[in-house]
Amino acid sequence: MNEPDSWLVDLANKRAKHMVDPGPTFNCRMPIFAFSTEMYKSKVGELEYGHELEFFHKNGAKQVDGPELESFKANYYQLIVDDMTLTLVERVDVHVPILIGLIQGQKITKVRYLLWDDQAPFKADLFARPTDVTMEEVK
């Protein structure tokens, strides 16, 4: 995101969607799963980066069993919304998500998180128009 421009990039398929916030308020929303306008406007569209745990707790997610990890302790949550199953893996020591999954019928989409070290140097190119992808303009 580089307001008013934002890009939704799928590096695995080398495709991206470019959106421009028309303003004038520039209210930023960052839904994790917004593959269509309908999904963006649905309950699943309310699941946003930076508010993952809040969304799962607010919507009554159930804590479920998951594999024990060697590196750290994790909590696993599951939530069913609009015939879709959402899963969240939380790293307990720092209370941040490390993985979110979405199951829609036979399709599974996973988002893996890398922890950002706040001591790392700022990389402006991370917020620039992506290259080497097929870009689709979204109206």
Q: pLDDT, tens digit, for every residue of 38-93? A: 888 899 999 999 899 999 999 999 999 999 988 889 999 999 998 999 999 999 99
Specify if 127 maps to a domain: no
pLDDT digits (tens, 9 = 90+) for 113-139: 887 666 667 777 777 888 888 988 887
Q: Is residue 58 a part of any domain in this protein?
A: yes
Judge whether 43 lies within some domain: yes
Would 137 be classed as within a structural domain?
Answer: no
- For residue 133, being part of any structural domain is answered with no
Total domain count, the chain? 1
Task: Please say whether the dihedral angle defined by the alpha carbons of residues 39, 16, 96 and 84, taken in this order, is positive or negative.
Answer: positive
Comparing 22-31, 94-103, 115-124, the range with the smallest average pLDDT is: 115-124
Query: Residue range 23-49: average pLDDT?
Result: 87
The domain containing residue 101 runs over which residues? 5-116
62 falls within a domain:
yes
The reply to whether the predicted model has a pTM over 0.85 is no
